[in-house]
Amino acid sequence: MLNDSKQQTPEGRAALYPVILRIAAKVAIVSRCAPGIDARGLHRTNLAALRDALARVACEGCVCLSDGFPVAGLRHEQRAVIGGDAKSAAIAAASVLAKETRDRYMRRADAAHPGWEFAQHVGYSTPEHRDAIERLGVSPLHRMSFQSTAYQQLALG
């Protein structure tokens, strides 16, 4: 069933991923690197990535939906929908594609950066993730600007 990616199991997201790709009229997946996020800030970077993705899939006369935040600089009509991933199939589908794409990237990153166990925590701040940072330091994938009380006790750098 299609809903917010956070409500899906990893297996459910993986099963929905090819279905969404097959039935969607257009798909755009946009990613940003850790240094770019650090330079511009996570929220600004996310909104810019969303604007880029919407610009790639939008067509004349459409209404672009976003999950909660208006998107500046978009040349199409838009609507910010609070709780959009629970109210819009398009937003829910985008959420599933984004989360599954990131999880797949993290599994590949696990092979390229052994020891941080990216495949297990897929970038979330788990005790195991923090232990790996304490043991190994940060990898090139880590955002140095990440502000979390769980990370503040670690000496990053």
Domain ranges for the chain: 5-102, 113-157
pLDDT score at 106: 95
Question: pTM of the predicted model, to two decimals?
Answer: 0.86
Provide the strand spans (E) within 1-157.
63-67, 77-81
Cβ(123)–Cβ(142) below 8 Å: no
Q: How confident is the model at residue 151 (pLDDT cuts 50, 70, 90)?
A: low
Cβ(97)–Cβ(27) below 8 Å: yes
For the chain, the farthest-separated pair of C-alpha atoms sits apart, in whole angstroms, at 53
Tens digit of pLDDT for each residue in 106-128? Answer: 999 999 999 999 999 888 888 88
pLDDT score at 17: 97
Query: Which carries the bigger pLDDT value, residue 74 or residue 3?
Result: 74
Helix-then-strand count for the chain, H and E:
8, 2
